[in-house]
Amino acid sequence: MTPAPTPPRALLGRVWQEYISRHKAVLLVALVLMTIEGGMLGLLSYMIQPMFDRVFLGGDQAAVGLIAGSIFVLFTLRAVSGFVHRYLVVRTGLRIVTSIQKDLTAHLLQLDTLFFQRNPPGALIERVRGDAQALQGAASGVLITLGRDTVSMISLAAVVFWIDWRWALLVFVGLPLIALPLLRLQKGIRRTARAARERSAGISNRLDEIFHGILAIKVNTLEEHERARFTESVDRYFKSERSNQARQAAMPAMIDLLAAIGFLGVLYFGGQQIIAGDKTVGEFMSFFTAMALLLDPMRRLSGVSGLIQAAMASLERLYTLFDERPTIINRPVAPAVRPARDGDLVFENVEFAYDGQPVLRGLSFTARAGQTTALVGASGAGKSTVFNLLTRLIEPQSGRVTIGGTSVQDFDVAALRSHFAQVSQDAALFDETIRQNILLGRLDATDSEVEAAAERAMVTDFARDLAKGLESPAGPRGSNLSGGQRQRVAIARAMLRDAPVLLLDEPTSALDARSEQVIQTALDRLAHGRTTLVIAHRLATIRDADRILVMDRGQLVDEGRHEELLSRGGLYAQLYALQFRDTEAAAQ
């Protein structure tokens, strides 16, 4: 269900207090300059009257220099004030937007992993970048329009009313007639702008899927299928944005139509007064010029509500993210400094469910300190959830998870997570050098420590063949490296971290036999002397584990060493037989 839109006043109050108010001195200077620029327009239109009556028609040579000089000064003031206030507004807008992007990214980094499971990366990228940039464009346009064009309209309106208030009324009398249609358009613009931003996020999601899944698309010849899906997303965005732009374009069009009718009246009655000698040509030309110039700020001001509604849509989406709160936080009481290095890892009757679907059902086990404990079971048995609960990425609905007898909820979150090093099948590398990716394990490590970790993890075996060695770029998501090379870098990072507990989540499942052998050697070095938990589908990799926990549908159904489990003939023996029956048949 879509949440009700936040009242604009509340949104504006928040963004003013949190971001805009700190720049109010600069914005005040910009506003003064906008006033100067807008006021010059009225004075320029007024100068048309003496130019026609005294120079063109009256032939007053002495007035030429005075009028020309005055017009030049007015244009110069308008140009300088316009340049400076635009620069100030754009610079301030950029500072505000970059502050929002920094704060929002920092806030998102504090949210729980469940939030990121519910929100795809493309949608979040669109909000952090797209909505923030859209907000800057709309806000800058609104500020300049309201500041400069309001003064321009007032100064020009003063000129037309000063020349002849009856002519002015002929032009403006129809304004109340379009008030209701304009209000209805304003209400629709926020709705369509919000829909357009959401569908723009859909495009970002689709592109994210295409570019990260390009190998699967190529192998399965899904190019046409993905093209059709992307076209559908773009078409949905086009329809929403078209509706939004049509509403915004309708507002100045109404102003133009009303002005055309008013001008006809002025031309008719004004022409008669000029012929009768009651008005001069200069007065008419000054009035006509002021009215023509008045149309532009009126059009922009009529469209400013559309800009405001578009900004409100982006602002609402941004603050929806700001209002998200992490559930994994430190308890109010003073937390324990950090877990004991030699503490057992214990699950006591732990229950957990994702969105109401049970994953763990009363799970209880103990992983002894200094030993290797393996978790096996079919997909969906809850093995990865065990890791997430240990590192407190998620919270159990009931039961306790303890380290050395202390609940993980009683530790400082950062201290708790520093107790673990994790290597998974999808090694998370960043678009940095190999050295910098290893250094992420412990940011204060020395160069010699990084190089020692790289040597132990056999990263140097392939890095020495690269042009820049450890300074070679890993590429986005480690794209410059092979699967085995990425795993070695991840293992080196874990070695550098030197955490008491090692979590291995199927680190060799996606590798060929040769790479698996190399990685397994590096993992054995890493696991030596540590408490190690291993998730494995390849049962051959855990034969030497001190204890194997067999899980099925979130419950512990068996435990023991490899030989014990085989002899009992339970689920473990069945899984083992499925993997090795061909080898055993050949041996017989």
Task: For residues 577-585, give the mean pLDDT.
Answer: 63
Strands 398-403 and 372-376: unpaired
The DSSP letter of residue 389 is H
User: What pTM, to 2 d.p., does this model score?
Assistant: 0.77
Cross-strand bridge partners of residue 458: none
- Percent of the chain topping pLDDT 90: 29
- pLDDT tens column, 478-491: 889 988 889 889 98
Does the pLDDT at position 60 exceed 50?
yes
Angle separating helix axes 132-144 and 281-322, nearest 10 degrees: 150
Does the pLDDT at position 36 exceed 80?
yes
Nearest to 39 by CA among 165, 149, 145, 146: 149
Architecture of domain 345-585: 3-Layer(aba) Sandwich (3.40)
Does the pLDDT at position 355 exceed 60?
yes
pLDDT band at 223 (very low <50, low <70, confident <90, very high): confident
- pLDDT tens column, 427-454: 788 889 999 999 999 999 999 999 999 9
**When comparing pLDDT for 190 and 117, which is higher?**
117
Task: For residues 75-90, give the mean pLDDT.
Answer: 92
Range among 238-242, 279-283, 451-455 with highest mean pLDDT value: 451-455
- Helix, strand, coil shares of the chain as percentages rounded to 5? 65, 10, 20
Does the pLDDT at position 398 exceed 90?
yes
What confidence score (pLDDT) does residue 587 get?
A: 44
Lowest mean pLDDT segment, chosen from 57-61, 186-190, 555-559: 186-190
What confidence score (pLDDT) does residue 239 get?
A: 87
What confidence score (pLDDT) does residue 509 get?
A: 66
Q: How would you list the strands of the sheet with 547-552, edge to edge?
A: 420-424, 501-505, 531-535, 372-376, 547-552, 555-560
Architecture of domain 1-164+279-327: Up-down Bundle (1.20)
For the chain, the domains span: 1-164+279-327, 176-275, 345-585
The three-state secondary structure class of 507 is coil
Place of tokens 């200077």: 29
- pLDDT tens column, 86-140: 999 989 988 999 999 999 999 998 898 888 888 888 888 888 888 888 888 878 8
Q: What angle is formed at CA 393 by the lines to CA 391 and CA 395, rounded to 5 degrees?
A: 100
Please indicate whether the domains covering 1-164+279-327 and 345-585 agree at the CATH topology level.
no
In 10 A of CB 2, how many CB atoms?
7
47 contacts: CB under 8 Å, gap ≥ 6: 67, 70, 71, 74, 286
pLDDT band at 468 (very low <50, low <70, confident <90, very high): very high
Question: What region does 553 belong to: left with phi over 0, alpha with psi -120 to 50, or beta?
Answer: left
